[in-house]
Amino acid sequence: MSRSYHLIAVVLVAAALAGIASLFSNDYYLRIVFMMCVYYLCAAGMNVLVGYAGQKSLGQAGLFAAGAYAVALLTTRTEINPWLALAVAAVVSGACGVLIALPSLRVKGPYLAMVTLAFGIVVEKLVGEWTEIFGGAQGIYGIKALTWNDQPLSSLQWVWLGIALCALTHLLLRNVMKGRFGRALLSLQADEIASSSVGVRVYRAKVIAFVVAAVTCGIAGALVAQQNQYINSDFITFHLSIFILLLVLFGGAGSQYGPLVGTVVLTLVDAALARWPSAQHFLYGFLLLFALYVMPGGVTGLFARWFRRSATAPQPQEAGKEPVRIGPDGSGELLVVQGVTKNFGGVKPAQNVSFRLQRGHIHALIGPNGAGKSTMINMLTGLIDPTEGSIKFLGQEVSGRQVHTICCMGMGRTFQNLRLFAELSVLDNVMLGRHSRMSNGFFASLLSMPGARKQEAATRARALQLLQLVDLLHLAHQPAGSLPYGLQRRVELARALATEPQLLLLDEPAAGLNPQETAELGQLLLRIGKCGVSILMVEHHMDLVMSISDHVIVLDYGIKIAEGRPAEVQANPRVVEAYLGVDEPEEALAVA
């Protein structure tokens, strides 16, 4: 559905829901609908964190408390306008989200969940026991409610406000998740190393996900406090964190409508079991385990295949008719490696290695297994820092720089073991390669500004052009992980080309390919070289190396033993010895 049609549909649905709510005269039913809106706000932000970024959090109750108590303290101790207090509460919650995100660079998976759980417990104890500030179990009374025409909102007006905020939240998050930042978050969930290699700033993306979840949850907490005009520690429990996580997992994490489905179903269940708290806790625990192990795609995942439509393959004219140009023309030194050494304890996969790569050439880095070739590629791209020596790319030192920074400088790569984002389409994989070349920021994407939409269109067109270059245009909408191995190699190659590299590093690109696929790969690499991209490939297929390389470097046990044109290297006795060994009796006879 196009953006305009989706906007109209959301407005019509919100108006219809507001009209239906007007028919309710019972405040109890209006309260249930209002709580649906509150829980949807929590779940929508949590879906960004869990469903897209793959970061598990058990501390949402603490963020809910941040918003609730911020608005409570502001409106009871100052003369601030309640609407402004609501906005400030969102900012305070966002700051708490940054606080939780700080450890996320160091811990992952269950350890991250434990950190967020600790945050939630600390906040729960803080509001429960620091009675001078937060009131403890007695709570804070006299919170100023939101007003309209100088009158507090009625129950129906609270529902209208909730529906409006939910519709706005859905539209804004859809803008983000359908574009540059949504793809970046999905790449984090799949493979952080591959994500950083295409220019995604991993830590920044995680912080964005945590802040989005925190802001929406904080707004929800502030709304509850202002509607009740009262808040105490009973609202802030671990049970709330589990319930918010369950809303996402049960509805369908990573789905646009999963949080909505989970919210409607579980809020009704929560209201039905309100008289039996012990039954609530048991049911939520059961549903959480059920969602994790039996229904990992949630309710929406069960029905997704019924509504999934196969997208039409792009036509060649969509990719453009002009020849692909990736890197600049020219000559001269592109990369200078001087005296690079790497120690892993007593193991030295690189020992005082030096070489120079020329612009416009196809270079090969060869050697027996264990020679240190992949270690050298990882040092060039920033995954590993050298112990000693210098690596200069385009005249700038790259040692010690982050992976995404080196990518932005113009160095792309593929991996020895495929690191595709398997659940994403082929087109989305390649568009992710353009992440670092897009300049639209988070807020421009959030508001779907014209510049952001223009860059998205340009990125799509460039990705289609590159898919045409590698003969995969007809598979653009297929999940990357569903393709045969040889085609997955091409997807990874197209993704690396999308970073607009001047130097492309290929770590065994022909690994696992049959002879025909290897020959086709050689022709493809020659075409890529004509697009202005210099290549350094690590490869064991000597036929491929000798047929397309301009310059060959040979490593053996971390030491450079030869360098030069393919024919010269092939005839070098040290290279022959490294690959084939020496017949010791004949050598001894020759010495005698």
- pLDDT surpassing 70 at residue 56: yes
pLDDT at 132 (0 to 100): 87
- pLDDT surpassing 50 at residue 284: yes
Give the mean model confidence (pLDDT) for residues 542-569: 90
Q: Which two tokens stand for residue 366?
A: 């060869």
- pLDDT surpassing 70 at residue 103: yes
| Angstrom distance (rounded) from CA 217 to CA 223 | 10
pLDDT at 588 (0 to 100): 37
Instruction: For residue 80, name the pLDDT band (cuts at 50, 70, 90).
Output: very high
Judged by average pLDDT, the poorest of 165-174, 255-264, 271-280, 480-489 is 271-280
Largest CA distance in the chain: 109
Q: Where are the domains of the chain?
A: 3-238, 333-422+485-591
322 CB-near residues (< 8 Å, 6+ apart) = none
Q: Cα angle vertex 412, ends 206, 465, to 5°?
A: 95
Residue with tokens 């808040």: 231
pLDDT at 411 (0 to 100): 94
Q: For residue 363, give the 3-state DSSP assignment.
A: strand
Give the mean model confidence (pLDDT) for residues 263-283: 83
pLDDT at 291 (0 to 100): 75
Q: Which two tokens stand for residue 483?
A: 């393709």
Q: For residue 350, give the 3-state DSSP assignment.
A: strand
pLDDT at 313 (0 to 100): 65
| Angstrom distance (rounded) from CA 328 to CA 320 | 20
pLDDT tens-digit map of 10-51: 999 999 999 999 988 888 899 999 999 999 999 999 999 999
pLDDT at 321 (0 to 100): 52
Closest CA to 207 of 383, 442, 431: 442
Instruction: For residue 319, name the pLDDT band (cuts at 50, 70, 90).
Output: low
Give the mean model confidence (pLDDT) for residues 208-223: 95
From residue 476, give the alpha-carbon distance in Å to each of 171, 412, 469.
26, 21, 12
Q: What backbone phi and psi angles, to 5 degrees, belong to 179?
A: -125, -150
pLDDT at 157 (0 to 100): 94
Instruction: For residue 310, name the pLDDT band (cuts at 50, 70, 90).
Output: low
pLDDT at 264 (0 to 100): 93
Q: For residue 203, give the 3-state DSSP assignment.
A: helix
pLDDT at 278 (0 to 100): 76
pLDDT tens-digit map of 339-363: 999 998 778 888 999 999 999 899 9
- pLDDT surpassing 60 at residue 590: no
- pLDDT surpassing 60 at residue 422: yes
Instruction: For residue 158, name the pLDDT band (cuts at 50, 70, 90).
Output: very high
Give the mean model confidence (pLDDT) for residues 248-255: 89
Query: What is the helix (H) or strand (E) element at residue 506, kind and residue range?
Result: strand 503-507
Instruction: For residue 139, name the pLDDT band (cuts at 50, 70, 90).
Output: confident
pLDDT tens-digit map of 541-551: 888 999 999 99
Per CATH, which fold does 333-422+485-591 belong to?
A: Rossmann fold (3.40.50)
Percentage above 70 pLDDT, the chain: 94
Instruction: For residue 477, name the pLDDT band (cuts at 50, 70, 90).
Output: very high
Give the mean model confidence (pLDDT) for residues 119-123: 89
Closest CA to 334 of 409, 408, 436, 413: 409
Give the mean model confidence (pLDDT) for residues 258-281: 85
Q: What is the mean pLDDT of the chain?
A: 88
| Angstrom distance (rounded) from CA 44 to CA 364 | 49
Return the amino acid letter for 272: A
- Please spell the DSSP secondary structure of 234-275, one letter per residue: GG--HHHHHHHHHHHHHH-TT-SSHHHHHHHHHHHHHHHTTT
pLDDT at 592 (0 to 100): 35
The residue count of the chain comes to: 592
pLDDT tens-digit map of 424-454: 999 999 999 999 899 898 999 999 999 999 9
